[in-house]
A and B are shown apart, each in its own frame.
Chain A
């Protein structure tokens, strides 16, 4: 079974600075998908960024980028120019490629990000 580990329960960063959230995972599969979700106090789960394992290029979405190290099974999220609206819980998630009905997401325990004005 796949597992996802987020070793930083809490992180804080000064507004406008850069912060990196860590995520490691364990799997025997060669093809899979990885995601970062944001959960603000409203509780809504918002997809931040996704990465296909077969792509070597790191995904980027505006101020959000990932450092995907497949051999190390590491998938960190970098937030540049942090803004107050980035304050939230961030969850890393793993998904199998989708054959045979096993498309569920496996989540890490989350990192609470605080932005310091």
Chain B
């Protein structure tokens, strides 16, 4: 039973390019969460999705960032026209349903904008 799979593990983009981060939740999990971790900081919530629905995007920057979780395939976090300040580790987590469960996290994607 594979865990939460994120790819790529490392991603380097030049300023102005697009970054696409992928997350495949654990088998049977239908809830996906994206978090961002800046250097030497804790994780900050970005967006919570269920299949084909964005439930809570209160942590997403208003511009350039979008997320989707289609009926088939992985969840995608998309960052358009990246800037240096987007450099961070982006984590995906999944859970099967609401309740007293801690999430299962992926290993993260480290995005570096040069």
Chain A residues at the B interface, C-beta cutoff of 8 Å: 33, 35, 37, 42-47, 50, 52, 91, 93, 97-99, 101-110
Give which listed residue, B48, B104, B107, contacts A104 with CB less than 8 A.
B48
Q: Is B114's beta carbon under 8 Å from chain A?
A: no
Q: Is B108's beta carbon under 8 Å from chain A?
A: yes
A109 and B42: CB pair below 8 A?
A: yes
Give which listed residue, A43, A46, A52, A91, contacts B108 with CB less than 8 A.
A43
A107 and B107: CB pair below 8 A?
A: no
9 CB < 8 A contacts A-B: A42-B107, A43-B110, A45-B93, A91-B42, A101-B55, A104-B33, A106-B45, A109-B41, A110-B42
B31 and A103: CB pair below 8 A?
A: yes
Q: With CB as the reference atom, state the residue of chain A lying closest to B56.
A: A101
B48 and A47: CB pair below 8 A?
A: no
Within 8 A of A (CB), among B92-114: 93, 95, 98-105, 107-108, 110
A-B pairs under 8 A by CB, number: 63
B103 and A105: CB pair below 8 A?
A: yes
B31 and A50: CB pair below 8 A?
A: no
B107 and A105: CB pair below 8 A?
A: no
**Minimum C-beta distance from A97 to chain B (A):** 8
Give which listed residue, A35, A42, A104, contacts B102 with CB less than 8 A.
A35
**Minimum C-beta distance from A4 to chain B (A):** 8
Q: Which of B48, B91, B93, B103 has the most CB of A within 10 A?
A: B103
Provide the bound-state CA to CA distance between A80 and B41, in Å: 26
B48 and A101: CB pair below 8 A?
A: yes
Provide the bound-state CA to CA distance between A98 and B102, in Å: 12
B98 and A33: CB pair below 8 A?
A: no
A105 and B45: CB pair below 8 A?
A: yes
B98 and A98: CB pair below 8 A?
A: yes
Q: Mark B65-78, 1 if CB is under 8 A from A, else 0.
A: 00000000000000
| 10 A-B pairs with the lowest CB-CB distances in the bound complex, closest first | A98-B98, A45-B105, A107-B42, A47-B102, A101-B55, A104-B45, A107-B43, A109-B42, A35-B102, A52-B100
B107 and A98: CB pair below 8 A?
A: no
Q: With CB as the reference atom, state the residue of chain A lying closest to B98.
A: A98
Give which listed residue, A45, A52, A101, contacts B91 with CB less than 8 A.
A45
